[in-house]
Amino acid sequence: MLKFMQRFVSEGVVTNDFPSIVAEPPEGFLGKPVIDFERCTACDKCAEACPTGAISFNAVPQQDIPVKTERILSLNYGDCIFCGECAVACPNAISMTKEFQLAATKKEDLVTRARYRDDGSGKFRFVEIERHAQANDPTAQEIGLRLKEKIHKLLGRSLHIREVDAGSCNGCEVEITSLNNPVHDIERFGIHFVASPRHADMLLVTGPVTRNMEIALKHTFDATPDPKVVVAVGACAIGGGVFGTSYASCGGVDNILPVDVFIPGCPPRPEALLHGILLAVGRLSQSYPG
């Protein structure tokens, strides 16, 4: 016991400075994949390599020019597990960044689409970006302060969260648990995890929602008092992830419950979770007058 006490004293404060300083992810960390549309030739290599179908190409026949066709490249960060296989398949056009704060309040805001056109020689050339993924990205310095202020204004107390594992591999749970360790110390922002949904303001749901967890998740939602918000954490909770939709998987939380915020990642980092919780509190404010 004495050795532990000596270590605690010598160790000092280990809590990080987030949100004033966002810790740099470690070497080898794979974050948001970025496509250089000018270099991309719509060759399908990245789509074939993607294990979850996060990258896809759709042919669009042209009525006025029957000989030519157009293709739409779609990159869905909600389905992405950030494995880096697309960058391996096409290193010339795709690179992996360390960006991880990608939470959004709408699924469509996680999708980037670009249009390509056959130039007549059988090769597709980039035409335009049809849609950019809309990152709800307040500066890191704002996140913690805004979160604490919103929680106090809306609830007059701390924010209570009930975490629900709806069939995940527990990777997301590891990151969620990290929020409570001395390094991230989420309670400094007035956020607490509770054991009962009856005490919760927010449900933090992981996993693709297995058929065995479907009824339990619905009961948990019904037991949470209004107003409440639901946050889908990770690729599995957003769209089924590697499990997809099957006899054993419902294919994502929004197929069962109304979801207010989607947090991409496999799994999301603790800072990405906090970023998503901030967005969820913003949705919670819509349920309160004033």
Q: What is the pLDDT along the chain (290 residues), one digit of tens a residue?
A: 677 666 666 766 666 666 566 667 788 888 899 999 889 988 889 999 999 999 998 876 555 555 457 889 999 999 999 999 999 999 999 999 988 888 888 888 999 999 998 887 778 888 888 888 765 545 444 555 566 666 666 666 678 999 999 999 999 999 999 999 888 888 888 889 999 999 999 999 999 999 999 999 999 999 999 889 999 999 999 999 999 899 999 999 999 999 999 999 999 998 899 888 888 887 776 666 55
| CATH number of the domain within which 93 lies | 3.30.70.20
Do 164 and 282 fall within a single domain? yes
**Residues 278, 194 share a domain:** yes
Identify which of 77, 75, 67, 73 has the alpha carbon closest to the alpha carbon of residue 42. 73
Residue 23 lies inside a defined structural domain of this protein: no
Question: Does residue 186 fall inside a structural domain?
Answer: yes
Same domain, 237 and 272: yes
> What values do phi and psi take at 234, rounded to 5?
95, 165
Is 162 in the same domain as 257? yes
In a domain? residue 14: no
Q: Which residues pair with 94 in a beta bridge?
A: 35
The token duo for 239 is 């769209």
What's the CA gap between 140 and 275, in Å, rounded?
9
Segment 125-183, tens digit of pLDDT:
888 888 887 655 454 445 555 666 666 666 666 789 999 999 999 999 999 999 998 88
Looking up tokens 């956020």 gives 191
DSSP 82: -
Residue 28 forms part of a structural domain: no
pLDDT value of position 22:
65
Residue type, 206: T
Same domain, 146 and 127: no
d(CA 272, CA 254): 20
Same domain, 187 and 88: no
CA distance 166 to 176: 14
Helices 140-155, 270-284: crossing angle, 10 deg rounding? 40
Q: What pTM was estimated for this model as a whole?
A: 0.84
**Range of 265's domain?**
140-287
Going by the DSSP 8-state scheme, the letter that residue 39 receives in this structure is T
Residues 90 and 158 placed together within one structural domain of the fold: no
Q: Do strands 229-233 and 261-263 pair parallel, antiparallel, or not at all (unpaired)?
A: parallel
pLDDT at 285: 66
Same structural domain, 77 and 188: no
The number of distinct structural domains making up the chain is 2
Residue 12 covered by a domain = no
Is residue 24, in this structure, part of any structural domain at all?
no
- CA gap 23, 30 in Å, rounded: 15
